[in-house]
Amino acid sequence: MAQINYLNFKASAITLTISCLILAASAGSFYDEMDITFGGERAKILNGGQDLTLSLDQYSGSGFQSKNEYLFGRFDMQLKLVPANSAGTVTTFYLSSQGAGHDEIDFEFLGNSTGNPYTVHTNVFSQGKGDKEQQFHLWFDPTAAFHTYTILWNPQRIIFLIDNIPVRVFNNHEAAGVPFPKSQPMRVYASLWNADDWATQGGRVKTDWTKAPFTASYRKFNANADKVGANSKSTTSENDNQTWRTQGLDGAGRNRIRWVQNKHMIYNYCNDRNRFPNGLPVECSRSRFL
């Protein structure tokens, strides 16, 4: 910056200001933020870019991805899941890089037969390795109204939140040899697809195609995050709220996550000794909240 003369600096500042204004004006528009990746007309952007629906039928699901790549940030999306008999369907909202050694941070919503609860499936991949699943049943009906699902990702930890209530924390334990996603930029992805070989009660309940098309709705996407440009260097985030960079759990957050994990967690890989007969993963003994 010291090498840039005053006039160039002033011009750059004006350009940055204009860019920020454009970003603010387009925030939340799916036209500006997302590309449809598969499913054709099964993915629909509605209401001038404020809403997006994904549909699944017996021929195809549908999905979209962010135009931008990010390296750390807070990512919020409001979802309303497939109602009634959603058995066999999987609705997703996640971050992922590309390639065999990819990183990924997952929210997956596993449908169920009418009257039975959705399963919220979370996972973290680093350098192509996952196997860090936790699952929850929600304390509300996720098909009746929109709720906000958040992935907060900074160099110290990943926090999964639902309506701003933390449900899971995955801390950075690289010092103990546990890979942590920190160097590969990721895009935001979402999809609706059929996984009736495993999604509902271990694959015992199949998709009822007479109920198709199945539809999930998305709105109010916000990425307060570092975008990564063509030169692979982070740019400034889209607004001035930078608390996500160092955010952890305060006392209230710890109380909330205790409540969620005590009352609503249905699977934790760190308790699955049958799956890890030679010893639980290293991080399981190092974090109270995983």
Question: What is the pLDDT, as a whole number, of residue 240?
Answer: 60
pLDDT average, residue stretch 108-134: 96
pLDDT average, residue stretch 97-112: 96
- Note if 283 is an active site residue: no
- Note if 108 is an active site residue: yes
Q: Which residues contact 3 (CB under 8 A, 6 or more apart)?
A: none
Question: What is the pLDDT, as a whole number, of residue 289?
Answer: 63
Q: Which of 35, 71, 158 is nearest to 107 (CA)?
A: 158
pLDDT value at 178 more than 70: yes
What is the residue-averaged pLDDT of the chain? 89
Q: CA torsion angle for 73, 79, 85, 88 (degrees, to 10)? A: -20
pLDDT value at 225 more than 50: yes
Q: Give me the sheet containing 214-228, strands edge to edge.
A: 43-46, 51-56, 214-228, 69-80, 147-153, 157-162, 165-171
Active-site residue among 69, 104, 238, 283? 104
Active-site residue among 33, 41, 69, 108? 108
Place 16 in a pLDDT band, splitting at 50, 70 and 90. very low
DSSP state of 244: G
